[in-house]
Amino acid sequence: MIKKLFLGAIAFLLLNAIAFTQTKDEKDVAGAVELLKTAMVNANKSALENLTSEKLNYGHSSGHIDDKKEFVEKIVSGASDFVEIDLAEQTISISDNVAVVRHVLNAKTNDAGKGPGEVHLRILLIWQKQKDGWKLLARQAVKIG
């Protein structure tokens, strides 16, 4: 029991140390990623439009590329319906006004006409810092296994 408490305390301290080493921009980008995830699950049109660049280039693991309008419409219409999204192994690298985010996305879906499903993807997101905040400029997904 004491060993578990000790290991738990060490893990807590390490996670806090990692959180404190993030820059303000890295925290802002991580927040934008979370907002995007929530907007996709909730099919929130205004949030999706606010978080994405007018020049969005959104690549699916199938090879299809959406622009901003098509991406938002697919989510809002339910053609691409994320019921739950879990992100793991996220890294954020910032160079000037560009952020490169990589993570693993595991999601439960209910895309129109296809019924319940699951997707497991490696994602690359490119965010650009604009005058009104970080905007998703590009995304590419690759199927895992």
Quick count: other Cβ atoms within 10 Å of Cβ 74? 19
Does 12 reside within a domain?
no
Does 58 reside within a domain?
yes
Let me know if 47 is exposed, middle or buried by CB neighbors in 10 A (0-12, 13-18, 19+): middle
- The H or E element containing residue 137 is strand 133-143
> What local confidence, expressed as pLDDT, does residue 21 receive?
77
Does 11 reside within a domain?
no
For residue 63, give the DSSP letter.
S
Which domain covers residue 87, as residue numbers?
Answer: 23-143
The 10s digit of each residue's pLDDT in 28-37 is 999 999 999 9
**Token pair in block for residue 2:** 């004491």
> What local confidence, expressed as pLDDT, does residue 18 receive?
53
Does 5 reside within a domain?
no
Residues of the chain with pLDDT under 70: 1-20
> What local confidence, expressed as pLDDT, does residue 144 receive?
93
The 10s digit of each residue's pLDDT in 6-19 is 556 665 655 655 55
CATH of the domain at 128: 3.10.450.50
Tell me the whole-structure pTM to 2 decimals.
0.83
Residues 6+ apart with CB under 8 A from 31: none
- Structural domains in the chain (count): 1
In the chain, the amino acid numbered 23 is T
Does 109 reside within a domain?
yes
Integer Cα distance of 66 and 107 in angstroms: 19
Say if residues 136 and 49 touch (Cβ distance below 8 Å).
Answer: no
Residues 6+ apart with CB under 8 A from 20: none
Does 111 reside within a domain?
yes
Does 138 reside within a domain?
yes
Does 32 reside within a domain?
yes
> What local confidence, expressed as pLDDT, does residue 65 receive?
97
Backbone angles phi, psi at 99, to 5 degrees: -120, 135
